C-alpha cells in the first residue's frame, strides 16, 4: 500500500507562531487563554498541562496575569476589557487575520457595510464583526445574499481566512449581481489556498483520503469537504487512534493531509501507523 502525503499540510505559519509564543510564557505567573489558542484539542491540552488557564470570558479572570489572544484574533472590545483588568496582553493573532481586521475597520470607517464570508459563531468571525464597528454582516452561502439588505452607500466584502476559494468567489458573484460598487477583498490566507489545492490534487490520485484534524477546526472540515467532492472516499480523524484498519481493505493508495491546526507529531503518528498495517 502506497501512502501519499499532501505537499502542504499541518501547522500553518500563523498557528506555529501562536503555539511557540504560548510556550515561551513563564510558568510562574497566571497565563490565561481566551477560548482555544488554536482549534486542536491535543495542542490545547499540552498548553493546559503547562499551567495555561483556559477561560471562555474575561469575566472569569479575577487575578492579574497575562492574556493570550488566540490565532483567530479578538474584537477591539476584548482588548479594551483586558486593559481595564490590568492584564498583560500577548497577541498571537495570525498576520492574515490581522490583515482582514484592518480592512474591516477601514471599510467601516468609511461608512461601508462589511460583508464577512464565514462561519457564524467562529472565533475569527466574531472578532471581524467587532472590527466592523456594528456594520458587519456574516454571509455563509450565495443563497444568503438574496435576503441581504444594505442601507449604506458602499459595500465591502472580506473572508474568514480559512474559507474555500470557490465559495468566496460564488458569493462575490452573487453580491455583484445584486449590488453596485462592491469592493471585494480576498482575505483567504495563502496557506489555506495551498492546503486546499494540494489536498484535492492528492485525493484525485488515491483510493482513500485521510484528513487529520480537530472536528472544531473550520479549515480541516473544509479540507474534508473538498476531498470528498473529488469522489474519493474520505475520512476525517483527530488522532491515529481513530484510524479504522478496515477502511484500508482493498486500497492500494492512501492519501494524507492535515489541517492548519494539526501538529506534526499527530500527523507523524498516523503515517507511522499506516506503514505498520499489513493488509
Task: Give per-residue pLDDT as tens, 46-67.
Answer: 888 888 898 999 999 988 899 9
Hunting for cell 488554536 — which residue is that? 38
Residue 203: predicted pLDDT:
98
Residue-by-residue DSSP string for 22-81: HHHS-TTS-EEEES-SSS-HHHHHHHHHTTPEEESSGGG--S--EEEEPTT---HHHHHH
| All cell numbers assigned to 217 | 477546526
Statement: 96-184 belongs to CATH 3.40.1010.20: yes
161 marked among binding-site residues: yes
Mean per-residue pLDDT over the chain, rounded: 93
Q: Is the pLDDT of residue 15 over 60?
A: yes
DSSP-derived secondary structure letter, 258: E
Is residue 193 a known part of a binding site?
A: no
pLDDT band at 135 (very low <50, low <70, confident <90, very high): very high
94 annotated among ligand-binding-site residues: yes
**Residue 275 labelled as part of a binding site:** no
Answer yes or no: is 261 a known binding residue.
yes
pLDDT of residue 38: 83
Q: How far apart are the first and last CA of the chain?
A: 8
Architecture of domain 13-93: 3-Layer(aba) Sandwich (3.40)
What letter does residue 250 receive in the DSSP assignment?
T
Q: Is 162 annotated as a binding residue?
A: no
> Is 57 annotated as belonging to a binding site?
no
* Domain-wise residue ranges, the chain: 2-10+191-276, 13-93, 96-184
Confidence at residue 68, expressed as pLDDT on a 0 to 100 scale:
93
Q: Which residues are catalytic?
A: 124
How many percent of the chain have pLDDT more than 70? 99
Give the C-alpha separation, 101 to 73, whole Å.
9
Helix (H, G, I), strand (E, B) or coil at 102: helix
Task: Give 247's contacts (C-beta < 8 A, 6+ positions apart).
Answer: 208, 233, 235
Please check the confidence at residue 114 and state whether its pLDDT lies above 80: yes
User: Do residues 51 and 27 touch, judged by C-beta distance below 8 A?
Assistant: yes
Q: What is the CATH number of domain 2-10+191-276?
A: 3.40.1010.20
Dist CA 13 CA 161 (whole Å): 13
Whole-angstrom distance, CA of residue 186 vs CA of residue 206: 31
Same fold flag, 13-93 and 96-184: no
Alpha helices in the chain (DSSP H): 13-24, 41-49, 76-84, 95-109, 123-131, 165-178, 190-203, 218-229, 264-276
Amino acid at each position: 500500500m502506497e501512502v501519499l502525503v499532501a505537499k502542504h499540510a499541518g501547522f500553518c505559519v500563523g498557528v506555529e507562531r501562536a503555539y511557540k509564543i504560548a510556550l515561551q510564557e513563564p510558568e510562574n505567573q497566571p497565563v490565561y487563554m481566551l477560548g482555544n489558542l488554536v482549534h486542536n484539542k491535543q495542542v490545547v491540552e499540552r498548553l493546559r498541562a503547562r499551567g495555561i488557564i483556559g477561560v471562555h470570558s474575561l469575566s472569569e479572570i479575577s487575578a492579574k496575569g497575562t492574556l493570550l489572544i488566540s490565532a483567530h484574533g479578538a474584537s477591539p472590545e476584548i482588548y479594551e476589557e483586558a486593559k481595564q483588568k490590568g492584564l498583560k496582553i500577548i497577541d498571537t493573532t495570525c498576520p492574515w487575520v490581522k490583515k482582514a481586521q484592518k480592512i474591516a475597520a477601514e471599510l467601516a470607517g468609511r461608512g461601508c457595510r462589511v460583508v464577512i464570508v464565514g462561519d457564524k459563531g467562529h472565533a475569527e468571525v466574531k472578532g471581524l464583526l467587532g472590527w466592523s464597528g456594528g456594520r458587519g454582516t456574516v454571509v455563509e452561502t450565495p443563497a444568503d445574499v438574496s435576503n441581504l439588505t444594505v442601507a449604506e452607500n458602499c459595500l465591502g466584502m472580506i473572508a474568514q481566512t480559512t474559507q474555500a476559494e470557490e465559495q468566496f468567489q460564488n458569493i462575490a458573484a452573487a453580491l455583484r449581481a445584486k449590488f453596485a460598487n462592491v469592493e471585494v477583498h480576498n482575505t483567504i490566507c495563502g496557506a489555506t489556498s495551498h492546503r486546499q489545492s494540494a489536498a484535492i490534487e492528492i485525493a484525485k490520485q488515491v483510493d482513500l483520503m485521510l484528513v487529520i484534524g480537530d472536528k472544531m477546526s473550520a479549515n480541516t472540515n473544509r479540507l474534508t469537504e473538498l476531498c470528498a467532492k473529488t469522489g474519493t472516499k474520505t475520512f476525517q480523524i483527530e488522532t491515529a487512534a481513530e484510524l479504522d484498519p478496515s477502511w484500508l481493505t482493498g486500497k492500494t493508495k492512501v492519501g494524507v493531509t492535515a489541517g492548519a491546526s494539526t501538529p506534526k507529531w499527530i500527523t507523524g503518528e498516523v503515517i507511522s501507523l499506516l506503514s505498520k498495517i499489513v493488509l
